[in-house]
Amino acid sequence: MSGKVYLVGAGPGDPELVTLKAAKCLAEADVVIYDRLVDDRLLIDVPSKAELIYVGKKAGHHTLEQPKINQLLVDKAKEGKIVVRLKGGDPFLLGRGGEEAEALSNVGIPFVVVPGVTSSIAVPAYAGIPVTHRSLASSVGIVTGHEDPTKGGSSIVWEKLATGVDTLVFLMGTGNLAQIADELVRNGRPPSTPVAIIREGTSPHQQTLVGTLADIAAKATESGIQSPALIVVGEVVRLRERLRWYDNQPLFGKRVLVTRSRKQASVLSQLLARHGVIPVELPTIEIQAIPDNRELDKAIAHLPDYSWLIFTSVNGVEIFFSHLHDLGRDSRALGGVRLCAIGPATAAALERFGLIADRIPPEYIGEAIAESLQEENIAGKRILLPRSEAATPELVTRLDQLGAKVDEIAIYRTVLPQADPGSGKQMLLAGEIDITTFTSSSTVKHLVSLLGAEWEAVNRTRVACIGPVTAATAAQLGVRVDVVAKEHTIPGLVQVIIEDYRKNREVS
């Protein structure tokens, strides 16, 4: 039985610009055949059993020639697989998707085309250039800057194109920039016409170079700007200085070290990337559930005896309910036990199990939980507190003072990952990191341990901590803390970093 092929547009680069339908196709794929300009983050949610095949091309080097890619699609579909052909931008806009669809049609393989956000419009938009504008441009033309060399000649009618369209967008034209500019001027476009070259558009590495048809080739050579890039020609380029929004953000291009666990790092990285940050992940902790946890087994067996169940982290929620499931039980075992969560992220983790927190303290720190429960008359009440092995004792002490009977159970520990730290460590030591983030005391301790004698490299960056407990740990270890989040959450951490850089930019 034949499978099916989805020709899917991955969008211009920013993984958040992928369509909902594209994401659904990836989540159901047996095979993903992807291009060079596809962001790796799009592959995170592909099923672990799926086969990933890279067929990227760049000038002078093709992993697979196009006819072999066409045949690969056919072969995988004939195996009965759901095949996603993931292509940068839109599959039918200068992406050879039409040829791939023809190859499938010729042998009767069913296929679906999933359009993508095209770079020809999205990339200029991220550079502050609308390709049309009521006062400046009523038409736009999208042109290849690199024609098929086997055609025997150009099919671009320059004498009509040069003055027949207000805005021209050339894809894959960086290597032919001088020729493109010459052809446009020779065929009537004024040499003073503004031009923009946008490299790696919609990514935190985005670069924009502005000139005119008369000087853009020389400027490009001088700057060293390279592909992947597109070229925008037209009066709309003049709007960039007023409309640029993406590369004008206070954090644009800043390299921020993310020290959370590998599993959790993506949440912070994605939020930072929205602000033009280049996230550099250096996981310093790994979460490990306590094995053979008889104490937790006993507590779960007597859940109805507790009045309150307190969670101080997302990890605590996930590990507790995973253990509950392993024992063949679910949230019904909680009965009338009331729930307290330290903050919105922990409360959201409970909601994923169909549970609503009865209490969320106004401050997202452990001690605030006790203050929040004080009015609940917890004297004599039993409280179950499953949390990290390394948790500080202040919360238990305060609950004891209020007369509660607390069963504190360590259900997970944070350890230094055994995996290679990757390039993040080298970038930090080389002074290439602008900001270091810490989301827990463990991340501070483990980064200092990982760096050893070179730990002071952290103090050559701006240091941002998620809350006062984390900041206190950093100070004890000699790490200088520049900012602490007012709201002790991941969004709160990002916000305080933005405010810090905006304030510093205004001062300078």
Kind of pairing between the strands at 229-233 and 194-199? antiparallel
CA 239 – CA 323 distance, rounded (Å): 57
DSSP 82-125: EEEEEESB-TTSSSSHHHHHHHHHHTT--EEEE----HHHHHHH
Q: If you search the block for the tokens 């010729």, which residue do you land on?
A: 106
Residue 52: DSSP 8-state: E
Q: Which two tokens stand for residue 343?
A: 């903050």
Q: In sequence order, which residues have a C-beta less than 8 Å from that of residue 212 and are 6 or more positions away?
A: 191, 192, 193, 194, 195
Residue type, 188: G
CA 443 – CA 437 distance, rounded (Å): 9
Question: Three-class SS of residue 411?
Answer: strand
CA 16 – CA 116 distance, rounded (Å): 12
CA 232 – CA 385 distance, rounded (Å): 59
CA 196 – CA 183 distance, rounded (Å): 17
b/e for 172-189, b at 16 or more Cβ within 10 A? bbbebbeebbebbbeeeb
Q: If you search the block for the tokens 């550079």, which residue do you land on?
A: 127
* Residues labelled catalytic: 35, 57, 172
CA 116 – CA 329 distance, rounded (Å): 43
Helical (H) or strand (E) element with 272: helix 262-273
Helical (H) or strand (E) element with 31: strand 31-34
**Helix, strand, coil percent content, the chain, rounded in steps of 5:** 40, 20, 40
8 A C-beta contact, residue 39 and residue 15? yes
8 A C-beta contact, residue 341 and residue 366? no
CA 198 – CA 119 distance, rounded (Å): 10
CA 458 – CA 270 distance, rounded (Å): 22
The total of other beta-carbon atoms located within 10 Å of residue 288's CB is: 12
